[in-house]
Amino acid sequence: MLQSPTDDGLNRLKTACRYCSWVALALEIVVLASVALVTFTIIVLMAVPSAVDSFYAEGFDVDFSSGQAALLMLMVDLLLLTALIILMLLRNIMRDISREYTPFTQNNIQRLRRMSVVLVVLPVASALSYMAINPSGTWLTDGLSLILSGLIASAFVYSLSLIFRYGASLQKQSDETL
């Protein structure tokens, strides 16, 4: 039985998405382990303040106290948790595409919208944490560039959700026509 080019393309898409969902799951496990490690580091820094007498990182002109180091680790934890949320949403999108007749489903549209919200919250929280850690004033340009890059990424993902919504309406029209 010959397959149409459309069916062949859909099968290739489903296969690629199945592999991508497994890769996303593996990355989720790595990020989750990293979150656990960073959280443990925060607990140690807060429980044993002498663990960090002086901490110097490139790009920061101040010595960190253990509280500031813990805040830095909290920022890293936030970034990792955000990455975990995005990976989970991507894995679910890929899994559904590999299982469904069409990639243009309401679930995938909602996941893309959630991802766009996460991409807005992340840079704002990062910039605020950066301001708290590095009060010397360089945070203004760095913080603004973080926020701007997050807004741009969020706008792209939100646009993608609108494309998926349009695709879903075309798919519905096509299904009703047949």
Strand partners, 71: none
Confidence (pTM): 0.77
pLDDT of residue 41: 78
Q: How confident is the model at residue 138 (pLDDT cuts 50, 70, 90)?
A: low
SS3 27: helix
User: What single DSSP character describes residue 55?
Assistant: B
Is the model's pLDDT at 2 over the cut of 50?
no
Query: Tens digits of per-residue pLDDT, 66-124?
Result: 666 777 777 778 888 888 999 999 999 999 988 887 888 899 999 999 999 998 887 77
d(CA 176, CA 173): 5
d(CA 116, CA 94): 17
Query: Tens digits of per-residue pLDDT, 48-68?
Result: 766 555 445 555 555 556 666
b/e per residue, 127-153, with b = 16+ CB within 10 A?
bebbeebbeeeebeeebeebbeebeeb
User: What single DSSP character describes residue 50?
Assistant: G
